Amino acid sequence: MTTPRVTLPEYLQAEQQRFPQATGDFTDLLNHVGLACRRIAHIVDQGALAGAHGSAQATNVQGETQQKLDVMSNEIFLDTCQQGGHVAGMLSEELDDPYDLPAGVARGKYLLAFDPLDGSSNIDINAPVGSIFSVLRAPKGTAPASFHDYLQPGSAQVAAGYAIYGASTMLMLTVGNGVQGFTLDRTADAFVLTHPDMKVPADTGEFAINASNQRFWEPPVSRYVSECLEGRTGPREKDFNMRWIASLVAEVHRILIRGGLFMYPKDTKDLAKPGRLRLLYEANPMGMIVEQAGGKVSTGREGMLHVVPQSLHQRVPLILGARNEVERLERYHAEHDQGLDVAFESPLFNERSLFIRN
């Protein structure tokens, strides 16, 4: 006898039973998010056949070149989730301002923030891309949402998750009760629960960082990485592996499946940008997912989910994954800020070394 298949709607229905007052709106909203992800999966899967590769010959609010799939994915998210009738407004990486629902469209009491296609520079090389989403309560209920309504800390999220369009398409979701992983069954066009109750181990021997930015890192990050690189004979007394996929979704997915640490820390490359990743639709939803799986997420100086957003497209330093490694990095930042790390010297930072200290 095989275990019965549980689809995304069935999982959500079972979760809803835990809340007798639930109206079903939240469940239905998440089903529409799942539908948007299935629609995007189809286009990503078609690739060049759908005419979806290449640049859209435009830039978004971040000043990044938009790929055609960025634009198509954004429209799919907006259209699909608007049709569900459960949002009071939406915020997208691809739009300067929040999206206001047209007159006559049913409004709901939730706000949806999303990165419709994360890692879009990976599209043309057929490497994993994904969609990231965050669900907040609309402070004014079904009234049209204003700019300020979105500026809620990550701890206020009621659901978060991402889809990864890889060798198979998966949807990873938390509604505040652990993290569940669903795999898209393409023949049934349904997400099926395949990875229940995912956990991120507290320790790891694997870290991910863009080492080409090494000369811009702050001393606590240089210290951490150099200690990892020193391996078995260094202070950590073990060897580490390094990974870098340049797609947040793919990095977080690897960490959920087999553990690890991801860093896009604060650096001095562009002082106008205190980090690379966006708080409201990248760091916060990934933060909720990782913490619901027992991992930890931090800016290096404070817990990510406590950061109060100041602007819609705010960037933040992001460190997430194995709890003990994130806590170690927080300690290194605190020691640096208190001037306690002056004794730190590494052979990897002398003049002849590959890694030159700032």
Query: If 0-12 CB within 10 Å is exposed, 13-18 middle and 19+ buried, where does residue 300 land?
Result: buried
Name the residue nearer to Mn ion (CB basis): 138 or 256.
256
Name the residue nearer to Mn ion (CB basis): 118 or 291.
118
Name the residue nearer to Mn ion (CB basis): 12 or 290.
290
- Of 86-94, 106-114, 148-156, 164-172, which segment contacts Mn ion by CB under 5 A? 86-94
User: Could you say which of 115, 227, 325, 330 contacts Mn ion (CB under 5 A)?
Assistant: 115
Name the residue nearer to Mn ion (CB basis): 193 or 255.
255
Name the residue nearer to Mn ion (CB basis): 115 or 325.
115
Site string for Mn ion, 40-79 (x = CB under 5 A): ----------------------------------------
Name the residue nearer to Mn ion (CB basis): 220 or 309.
309
Q: Rounded CA gap, 57 and 123, in Å?
A: 15
Name the residue nearer to Mn ion (CB basis): 12 or 71.
71
**Shortest reach from residue 209's CB to Mn ion, in Å:** 17
Name the residue nearer to Mn ion (CB basis): 31 or 66.
66
- Of 51-59, 108-116, 170-178, 229-237, which segment contacts Mn ion by CB under 5 A? 108-116
- Of 118-126, 295-303, 318-326, 344-352, which segment contacts Mn ion by CB under 5 A? 118-126
**Shortest reach from residue 309's CB to Mn ion, in Å:** 17
**Shortest reach from residue 93's CB to Mn ion, in Å:** 5
**Shortest reach from residue 64's CB to Mn ion, in Å:** 8
**Shortest reach from residue 138's CB to Mn ion, in Å:** 23
**Shortest reach from residue 131's CB to Mn ion, in Å:** 8
**Shortest reach from residue 297's CB to Mn ion, in Å:** 16
Name the residue nearer to Mn ion (CB basis): 132 or 138.
132
**Shortest reach from residue 333's CB to Mn ion, in Å:** 24
- Of 115-123, 186-194, 265-273, 299-307, which segment contacts Mn ion by CB under 5 A? 115-123
**Shortest reach from residue 327's CB to Mn ion, in Å:** 26
Q: Tell me which residue has its CB nearest to Mn ion.
A: 118
HEC letters along the chain: CCCCCCEHHHHHHHHHCCCCCCCCHHHHHHHHHHHHHHHHHHHHHHHHHHCCCCEEEEECCCCCEEEHHHHHHHHHHHHHHHHHCCEEEEEECCCCCCECCCCCCCCCCEEEEEEEEECHHHCCCCCCEEEEEEEEECCCCCCCCCHHHHCCCHHHCCEEEEEEECCCEEEEEECCCCCEEEEEECCCCEEEEEECCCCCCCCCCEEECCHHHHHHECHHHHHHHHHHHHHHHCCCCCCCEEECCCCHHHHHHHHHHHCCEEEECCECCCCCCCCCEEHHHHHHHHHHHHHHCCCEEECCCCEHHHCCCCCCCCEECEEEECHHHHHHHHHHHHHHHCCCCCCCCCHHHCCCCCCCCC
Name the residue nearer to Mn ion (CB basis): 108 or 128.
128
User: Which 162-221 positions form the footprint of Mn ion (CB under 5 A)?
Assistant: none
118 binds Mn ion (CB under 5 A): yes
Q: Rounded CA gap, 95 and 93, in Å?
A: 6
The answer to whether 175 and 30 are in contact (CB under 8 A) is yes
**Shortest reach from residue 67's CB to Mn ion, in Å:** 9
- Who's near 205: CB < 8 A, 6+ residues apart? 238, 239, 240, 241
- Tell me the site size for Mn ion, rule CB under 5 A: 4
The answer to whether 290 and 255 are in contact (CB under 8 A) is yes
**Backbone phi and psi for residue 45, each to the nearest 5 degrees, phi listed first:** -65, -35
Residue ranges that bind Mn ion, judged by CB under 5 A: 93, 115, 117-118
